[in-house]
Structure 1
Amino acid sequence: MSLEPFADSRSLTLGVELELQIVNHHDYDLAPSSRDLLRLMEKVKLPGNVMPEITESMIELCTGVCVDHAEVLAQLTETRDALVAAADRLNVGLCGGGTHPFQDWSQRRIFDKPRFHEISALYGYLSKQFTIFGQHVHVGCAGPDQALVLLHGLSRFIPHLIALSASSPFVQGTDTGFDSARLNSVFAFPLSGRAPFVTRWEDFGTYFDKMARTGVVKSMKDFYWDIRPKPEYGTIEVRVLDTPLTIEKAAALAAYVQCLARWLRIERPFEPAEDDYLPYTFNRFQACRFGLDGTFVDPKSGVHRTLREDIEATFAAIEIHAMELKAEDGIRLLRGELAGTGNDASWLRGLHDRERLLPEVVRRQCLRWAGRPA
């Protein structure tokens, strides 16, 4: 099996995927209602689509191809509203957050789809523990070599994206001490982590062919990398973000990725190199564990600073690109969180400190996702 050709795509276009929690209104535990939701959504015309995920307590919404922050937000809003209306008919709730705070993974059911059953057969209990919820952002690339260069350039900012999006402090009823505990479940998979450092599609094809010959992979879907090429779409896919608590935050994070991509392509502030990955695992752990207060090691200079400081520096660097891409509203939202309330993990912990009841936390997550006042 060979690597499929890289499709034509307009540079810097966006696509967003969001995995959502489906919960009951009794105790706000996860509810296996994705099939019923999908049945209702079949009758609704959407700008993107809605799909099942690996277990029946999850559902994924996707935008179509978008050009800017406003279009992402408009499509997410339309799909969110339709999904919430369908969920109301079924008397279930929907919410963001990278993990459900107290669900028991052993109670999950695998969605009846051949690929999901294959994953379950291969990975065993890990497949049910994969009931976690992330945001994926696709960035259009004019060609495959450009895609690989952008992939490695954006890899430097993986910790920034983790820290900004982190919304999974609770697992199995316990505060893990991590801002993004979700990614610990992703890291358990053998083909997670980072892509190999190649910057030509020909060389990437050689790598893929070698992996395919071993029988370890059959398609790009078998790689759970933090960023991976998606040749069928002509994009790269950023996969490390937790699902935010609001669609506004999701659109803002997509805008930030788009602005970083434009800055990297036009200004070329550094040339990607294999040595950029020397502090990669350390930086990623710091972001997962400590969020915005984690330590970031600059791969070129070796200078240590907080992620909060380095993210603020990127906001300054991409300012003109945010203007060109009409992304100012999204960046403004992220800057406000950086200076004030912090990430979604901070909001969840603060709410739990006040309420001392995780079902109440989930109830309030549902209200935030639906855009309803708490």
Structure 2
Amino acid sequence: MRLEPFSQSEPLTIGVELELQLVNTHDYDLAPYAEDMLRLMGKIDLPGSVVPEMTSGMIEISTGVCHSWSEALGQLSQIRDALVKCADKLNIAVVGGGTHPFQQWHQRRIYDKPRFHELSALYGYLTKQFTIFGQHVHVGCPDADSALYTLHCMSRYIPHFIALAASSPYVQGHDTAFDSARLNSVFAFPLSGRAPCLLTWAEFEAYFEKMTRTGVVKSMKDFYWDIRPKPEYGTIEVRVFDTPLTVERAAALAGYVQSLAAWFQAEHPFTPTEDDYLVYSYNRFQACRFGLEAVYVDPPTGEHMPLREHMLSTMKQLAPYAEKCEATEALGLLQAEVNDNRNDARRLRERQGQERLLGEVIRQAASRFRGK
């Protein structure tokens, strides 16, 4: 099986996908209302799309192709408002966050779609444990080789993305001590992790052909990499973000990805190598476990530093590229949160510290998602 050609896209355009929780308004546990939500949402003319996800207590929304974080925010806000109205009709609520704090995986129902049933047959209980909620950001690349270059440059900044978006400290009623416990569920899948360090599309096509010959891979969807090329869209897709508690934060994170890509594609500031990945798993673990308080190991030098320090210096360096992408405000929002040392995982822990009741934490998170 051959890999499909890399499509042309407008460089630095962005698209955002968000996986969202559907909860009842009694105890705020997950509720199997995806089919009803899709039926109601299908009657509304909206940008992007609304589609089912693996289990029936979740739903995925996505924007169309956007040129700026503010355009993405406009589309996400429009979809969010429609979701809230439909949820109110069903007496349920929509919530952000990377995990539901106390849902029990064995109670989940696989959404009735052939691909989801195929995955359930293959992966067993892992499929229901995949009731986790992430944000994916697509960024347009001028050609296939540029996409691979951008992907491997972006890999150095995976800890930034994890720490900024972390919103999954609780799993099955317990504080995991991780800021992003969601990614531990992703790591269980055999084709997760990082893409092979290949910098030309010809090399990548050869790799894909070898993988399909093994029978393990049938399409790019079978790779659960942290970042993967999406040749049908002409993009790369960054997949490590937990779903934030608000669409404003989701759009700001997309603006950060866009600004980084603008820097890489304009300046080619470094050449990625396989040695960059020597510290990749360690950096990723640090960000998942400690969030904004993680240690970051610089791939080319081996220098250890606070992740927050690396993030702030990167944001300063990105200022002219953010300006060109109209993302200055987005970076400003994220920079303020880095300075305050406060991501969504910390917000959820603060709420639980005050309320001592995870159902109430989810109720407040649902209110926050509404934009009020």
In the other structure, the counterpart of 1:88 is 88
Residue 269 of structure 1 and its aligned partner are, at CA, apart by 2.2
State the distance in 2 between where 1:200 and 1:334 align. 33
In the other structure, the counterpart of 2:159 is 159
Instruction: Give the counterpart letter for 1:108 in structure 2.
Output: R
User: SS in structure 2 opposite 1:50?
Assistant: strand
1:220 paired to 2:231: no
State the distance in 1 between where 2:103 and 2:251 align. 27
Q: What's the CA shift string for 1:26-56, capped at 9, x where partnerless?
A: 0000000000000001111111110000000
Instruction: Give the counterpart letter for 1:245 in structure 2.
Output: L
State the distance in 2 between where 1:164 and 1:192 align. 21
Residue 271 of structure 1 and its aligned partner are, at CA, apart by 1.2
State the distance in 1 between where 2:249 and 2:233 align. 24
Residue 341 of structure 1 and its aligned partner are, at CA, apart by 5.5
TM-score by length of 2: 0.99
In the other structure, the counterpart of 1:242 is 242
In the other structure, the counterpart of 1:37 is 37
In the other structure, the counterpart of 2:279 is 279
Residue 331 of structure 1 and its aligned partner are, at CA, apart by 0.8
Q: How does 1:44-123 map to 2 (within 5 A)?
A: 44-123=44-123
State the distance in 2 between where 1:267 and 1:11 align. 14
User: SS in structure 1 opposite 2:190?
Assistant: coil
CA RMSD of aligned residues (A): 0.6
1:330 paired to 2:330: yes
State the distance in 1 between where 2:215 and 2:260 align. 36
State the distance in 1 between where 2:272 and 2:2 align. 27
State the distance in 1 between where 2:172 and 2:359 align. 12
Q: What's the CA shift string for 1:74-101, capped at 9, x where partnerless?
A: 0000010011110111010001000000
State the distance in 2 between where 1:264 and 1:349 align. 36
1:267 paired to 2:263: no
TM-score by length of 1: 0.99
State the distance in 1 between where 2:369 and 2:363 align. 10
Instruction: Give the counterpart letter for 1:349 in structure 2.
Output: R
Q: How does 1:8-47 map to 2 (within 5 A)?
A: 8-47=8-47
State the distance in 1 between where 2:204 and 2:67 align. 28
Instruction: Give the counterpart letter for 2:337 in structure 1.
Output: E
Instruction: Give the counterpart letter for 1:211 in structure 2.
Output: M
Q: What's the CA shift string for 1:307-355, capped at 9, x where partnerless?
A: 1111001110100111111111111110111112511000000110011
State the distance in 2 between where 1:227 and 1:304 align. 24
Q: How does 1:129-140 map to 2 (within 5 A)?
A: 129-140=129-140
Instruction: Give the counterpart letter for 2:336 in structure 1.
Output: G
Where in structure 1 do 4 or more consecutive aligned residues deviate above 4 Å?
A: none
State the distance in 1 between where 2:106 and 2:275 align. 41
Residue 195 of structure 1 and its aligned partner are, at CA, apart by 0.3
State the distance in 1 between where 2:202 and 2:64 align. 29
Residue 357 of structure 1 and its aligned partner are, at CA, apart by 0.4
Instruction: Give the counterpart letter for 2:134 in structure 1.
Output: G
Residue 59 of structure 1 and its aligned partner are, at CA, apart by 0.2
- Conserved 8 A contact 1:341-1:347: no
Instruction: Give the counterpart letter for 2:142 in structure 1.
Output: A
In the other structure, the counterpart of 1:300 is 300
- Conserved 8 A contact 2:133-2:242: yes
- Conserved 8 A contact 2:292-2:341: no
- Conserved 8 A contact 1:102-1:171: yes
- Percentage identity across aligned positions? 64
Larger CA deviation: 3-12 vs 174-183? 3-12
Residue 264 of structure 1 and its aligned partner are, at CA, apart by 1.4
State the distance in 2 between where 1:310 and 1:270 align. 16
In the other structure, the counterpart of 2:360 is 360
Residue 141 of structure 1 and its aligned partner are, at CA, apart by 0.8
Residue 69 of structure 1 and its aligned partner are, at CA, apart by 1.1
State the distance in 2 between where 1:349 and 1:270 align. 38
Residue 202 of structure 1 and its aligned partner are, at CA, apart by 0.8
Instruction: Give the counterpart letter for 1:357 in structure 2.
Output: L
In the other structure, the counterpart of 2:291 is 291
In the other structure, the counterpart of 2:208 is 208
Q: What's the CA shift string for 1:246-266, capped at 9, x where partnerless?
A: 000000000000001111121
State the distance in 1 between where 2:333 and 2:345 align. 16
Residue 306 of structure 1 and its aligned partner are, at CA, apart by 1.0
Gaps of 5+ in 2: none
State the distance in 1 between where 2:355 and 2:130 align. 28
Residue 267 of structure 1 and its aligned partner are, at CA, apart by 2.2
State the distance in 2 between where 1:238 and 1:110 align. 25
